[in-house]
Amino acid sequence: MTLPAPAIAIRRLCKSYGQTEVLHGIDLEIARGATTCLIGPSGSGKSTLLRCIAFLEEATSGTILVNGQPLGFEEQADGRRRRLPQARIREVRSGIGMVFQQFNLWPHMTALGNVTEALVTVQGLSRREAGERGMAQLRRVGLEARARHYPSELSGGQQQRVAIARALALEPKILLFDEPTASLDPELTGEVLNVMRDLGDEGMTMVVVTHEIGFAATVGQRIVFLDHGRVLLNGPPAELFAPPRHPRLTQFLETYLDRGAAMLLKPA
């Protein structure tokens, strides 16, 4: 039996900032069509790992394969890394969409403008064609009626849904989320998590750095628990969260009782 190739394969990935190493040789495979949640205490390296996958940070050593293609660097026969040409980097990157904690919508463009920008500027579509595709993505996140609004006229939850539509417009194979609900009021997190849940149901490959333990436990098919720059635990939530639990994970969950961890810790 051959297993399907992983969407992302990470080998011995290290990342240092100056003298400080934040990722100590991460080995991780992200399954295609599944939602993988990266959890862990602050400073555990989960956001850095995600940013390396998005190629917003360049890993110090190690390799990342995205859909089988090397991202950014290629390992040569002698084991040294070679930086790939910019065109190849962009090609591999175009299969990945990214959603940020701070939304990062461009304030001088409407919701539709944000979604269609890359379609027009990068892919060279006509305004009309881009507009139609952009509207389809806004419909997908339930914001068709807000297409002409500027980011400053939208709520945080709406802005994040526009940001998701912007990432979806390029039809990526993989979506990365960096704490997508961390800057939202609690009553607005639901609308964003629902959109993400729908995407997961549609079979999108998603990697989600999150503090929403409840979301991770119910939507995530795979939980990766990072601690001090290493993958400490990696498995389906039912397995990981069920007792007997790793003591480090229990300790972590106890600090997240208000984010849905309480139900996991409750005695049966």
The residues that touch other proteins, with contacts defined as CB under 8 A, are 54, 56, 90, 93-94, 96-98, 100, 102-108, 117-118, 121-122, 150-154, 159, 163, 166-167, 169-170
| Minimum separation from the CB atom of position 234 to other proteins (A) | 26
What are the angstrom distances between the C-alpha of 254 and each of 122, 251, 264? 46, 5, 10
Q: Phi and psi at residue 237, in whole multiples of 5°?
A: -60, -40
Rank residues 108 and 266 by Cβ distance to other proteins and give the closer one: 108
Alpha helix ranges (H) inside the chain: 46-53, 86-93, 111-121, 127-140, 156-168, 186-201, 213-219, 237-241, 247-254, 262-265
| Minimum separation from the CB atom of position 155 to other proteins (A) | 10
Rank residues 2 and 152 by Cβ distance to other proteins and give the closer one: 152
| Minimum separation from the CB atom of position 55 to other proteins (A) | 8
Rank residues 69 and 121 by Cβ distance to other proteins and give the closer one: 121
| Minimum separation from the CB atom of position 51 to other proteins (A) | 9
186 cis-preceded (ω within 30 degrees of 0):
no
Sign of the four-CA dihedral 11, 235, 206, 153: negative
| Minimum separation from the CB atom of position 132 to other proteins (A) | 18
Rank residues 102 and 251 by Cβ distance to other proteins and give the closer one: 102
Rank residues 28 and 115 by Cβ distance to other proteins and give the closer one: 115
Rank residues 98 and 209 by Cβ distance to other proteins and give the closer one: 98
Please answer whether residues 167 and 99 qualify as being in contact, where contact means their C-beta atoms are separated by less than 8 angstroms.
Answer: yes
Which are the contacts of 10, defined by CB distance < 8 A and separation ≥ 6?
26, 27, 28, 29, 30, 49, 53, 62, 63, 64, 65
Q: Phi and psi at residue 246, in whole multiples of 5°?
A: -60, 130
| Minimum separation from the CB atom of position 174 to other proteins (A) | 12
